[in-house]
Amino acid sequence: MGHKKFVFERQILRKLFGSIQCKEGWRIRSNKELQKSRKEANNAQYKKAQRIKRWGHLNRKEEIKLVKKIAEWNPIGVSTKGRPKNRWRDAVIYDLKKLKL
């Protein structure tokens, strides 16, 4: 069971860090290269950093851009019963508060 966890983690890391360009073209990173790129950093911290980075890009976009309109859109109407859904924006704001930024 533990082996499957590491396989999944490496798949996620390959998506996060991307491919490497070499003389022959593009190739995926090896497990050793993933470990080197990761530098034993916490996956959660890396994910939070990427989320905050994307938030900065989004805030610099013009007001007329569709991506920005969608990110700032608040639905109108009656919400469903139960706990509210977590939005990406809420996660970013929580991360910023936790980092005291």
Angstrom distance (rounded) from CA 30 to CA 45 = 22
Q: What are the tens digits of pLDDT across the range 86-98?
A: 777 888 888 878 7
Going from N- to C-terminal start, the domains of the chain cover: 2-38, 43-76+84-98
Q: Which residue has the tokens 């920005």?
A: 68
Q: What is the pLDDT of residue 82?
A: 84
Mean pLDDT in residue range 59-72: 77
Q: What is the pLDDT of residues 27-61, one digit of tens each?
A: 888 888 877 776 655 667 777 778 878 888 887 87
Q: Residues 55-88, buried b or exposed e (16+ Cβ, 10 A)? A: beebeeeeeeeeeeeebeeeeeeeeeeeeeeeee
Give the span between the Cα atoms of 79 and 76, in whole angstroms: 9
